[in-house]
Chain A
């Protein structure tokens, strides 16, 4: 394991996923790269995104907006990161699946941690379970009801001994 990727989300499950990813990164002393998507009503086109959590107004993605959102992202996690400095932030636009593949190709992570909001959540145009089970690298989904509930794809099961997850706390993801 060389680097962990985290799909961040400002939600309970997103926070659980972050804490697990941070613990894992600390344990292996490796890089944690936090990816955050600007929320958009469009599945593919993300040049327009919601201005805020109310999801009422759409705004165009501009340099100023990216700077503002990146600051929000850093401030959101700063407190929890404490003295951990091997961390990178990346604000993403576009389809989640495609963008994660691209980051994987760039070797920005080799294990992916994702919050699991609920069964069947849309992720890059397909159910999150389908995405995770078919993804080319180990994926750990955290949630949806409790923080120590982990859902692993087959590739993650193969490196279970490195993931710090207790037997009984995980299940295999089936699409």
Chain B
């Protein structure tokens, strides 16, 4: 665990890599050509533009977090970056917030205008300063909001970080990975660039597997079926890299006798706009989903296990989209609880005998208040459930940050500060760490490999599907 600290100056001076942006311009990618996704232009007078954009984004919650910090230092006790690098003041959330706060004070607060030296007000001088700001907000904070919950003044540093990310996204001053994922989501409607053909083929393949497993030749995952109880929306990672979770959900829905479908378009409930701070992208993605539910006359939207997908679809999306969303949405965890409570499916915990602990996703627990539902399910689907400490809204981030894995240049720092999470995992003595977020699966998987922990990451749906007690008739087939 005691690895050599990496140099923070190396992280903060990482240059802007515009290769993918240039390529997108050359290829006339529609979202870039139409100006929905911005590329970096050194002749754009970026500092001036940055200040104009900042002015347009100021509202009560932002200004509250800009002015509320009293530098008490309590946030340093909450942040896994600061805890992992206790001698590094640049890791303290208050410091990270100060990097945008000083600009606000200089230009939008009277104290900073008159006594800039007194309140440490300052302004970015050039694009290099903006690039440094990029490395701070994208590279040294996962936006987990643990510091927010521990702030006596109610300062939401994650709001400031997301705001700054959004301003920089408007100028194309973003890590290459952020640009690429944003482009994919603008162009294909999903953040991994999954084509419709690939999506439908995967559903067909999953249908065949589940049909064989349950012994029902008529079973098929229905696409674009109207008037179902719900549309099931997923993370594109499930299609691209691990479709087993789609199959597991389909199997559970089958045994519960559910009427459900998956939309042909508008199936990606993840939303990279939440991570990048791009409200326009956030609104576009969320609207696709809401429109799919409306088009298919579904009574509900069920969101598969995903932290930032849940937060953006259920809480933030309709504000970004300015959409009168009136079809309710719920996490698949709630759907599973309903099935078990109503006796529509039965689970046998002895089918999951390994000790399992639970990692609360930041977006689900701290920002979504979904803390008891996964525990309710795990206590019924596993024999040896162990709490991790701290837990629920006080849990530490997996370091995945709802999109941080797309920025490979920050991985060394991410892995260094992951030692806080790694120690939490070790202390449980569990063999499985369960989480309800696809991004956390990758974040935890990364740190498990990095710290060589004897542990495997699983999801609730996987454990519930494994614990299913199948009707005798189906088993015989």
List A residues at the B interface (Cβ < 8 Å): 41-48, 58, 60, 94-95, 98, 101-102, 105-106, 125, 136
Contact = CB atoms under 8 A, between A and B. Distances in A.
Interface string B221-256: 000000000000000010011111000000000000
Contacts of B177: 60
Interface string B174-187: 00110010000000
Interface stretch (B137-145, B148-156, B263-271, B440-448): B440-448
B451 to A, nearest CB: 13
A60 B176 contact: yes
A47 B243 CA distance: 17
27 contacts: A41-B449, A42-B405, A42-B442, A42-B445, A42-B446, A44-B441, A44-B442, A45-B405, A45-B442, A46-B241, A47-B192, A47-B406, A58-B408, A58-B411, A60-B176, A60-B180, A60-B408, A95-B241, A95-B242, A98-B244, A102-B201, A102-B205, A105-B201, A105-B204, A105-B205, A105-B208, A125-B242
B396 to A, nearest CB: 21
Contact of A45 (B204, B205, B209, B241): B241
B445 A43 contact: yes
A12 B445 CA distance: 29
A94 B240 contact: yes
Contacts of A95: 241-242
B202 interface: yes
Contacts of B237: 44-45
A129 to B, nearest CB: 16
Contacts of B446: 41-42
B167 to A, nearest CB: 25
Contacts of A136: 209
Contacts of B208: 105
B241 A101 contact: no
A60 B411 CA distance: 14
Contacts of A94: 240-241
Contacts of B449: 41, 43
B213 to A, nearest CB: 11
A44 B245 CA distance: 13
What 5 A-B pairs have minimum CB-CB distances, sorted nearest first?
A: A44-B241, A105-B205, A95-B241, A48-B408, A94-B241
B204 A98 contact: no
Interface in B404-450: 405-406, 408, 411, 441-442, 445-446, 449
A58 B411 CA distance: 11
Nearest to A46: B241
Contact of A44 (B176, B205, B445): B445
A44 B457 CA distance: 12
Given A42-B446, A47-B192, A101-B209, 15 more contacts: A42-B445, A44-B237, A44-B242, A44-B441, A45-B241, A60-B20, A60-B176, A60-B180, A95-B241, A98-B241, A98-B242, A98-B243, A102-B201, A105-B201, A125-B242
A114 to B, nearest CB: 19
A12 B408 CA distance: 31
Nearest to A58: B408
A136 B247 CA distance: 15
B442 A102 contact: no
Contacts of A48: 408
A94 B241 CA distance: 5
B280 to A, nearest CB: 23
A60 B408 CA distance: 9
Contacts of B241: 44-46, 94-95, 98
Contacts of B20: 60
A125 B201 CA distance: 22
Nearest to B241: A44
Nearest to A64: B23
Interface in B158-205: 176-177, 180, 192, 201-202, 204-205
A77 B180 CA distance: 33
Contacts of A60: 20, 176-177, 180, 408
B454 to A, nearest CB: 12
A105 B247 CA distance: 15
Nearest to A101: B205
Interface centre among B180, B201, B408 (most CB of A within 10 A): B408
Interface centre among B180, B242, B445 (most CB of A within 10 A): B242
Interface centre among A43, A45, A46, A105 (most CB of B within 10 A): A45
A47 to B, nearest CB: 8
A136 B176 CA distance: 39
Contacts of A105: 201, 204-205, 208
A31 B237 CA distance: 31
A95 B243 CA distance: 10
Nearest to A48: B408
Interface string B19-51: 010000000000000000000000000000000
Contacts of B411: 58
A125 B448 CA distance: 12
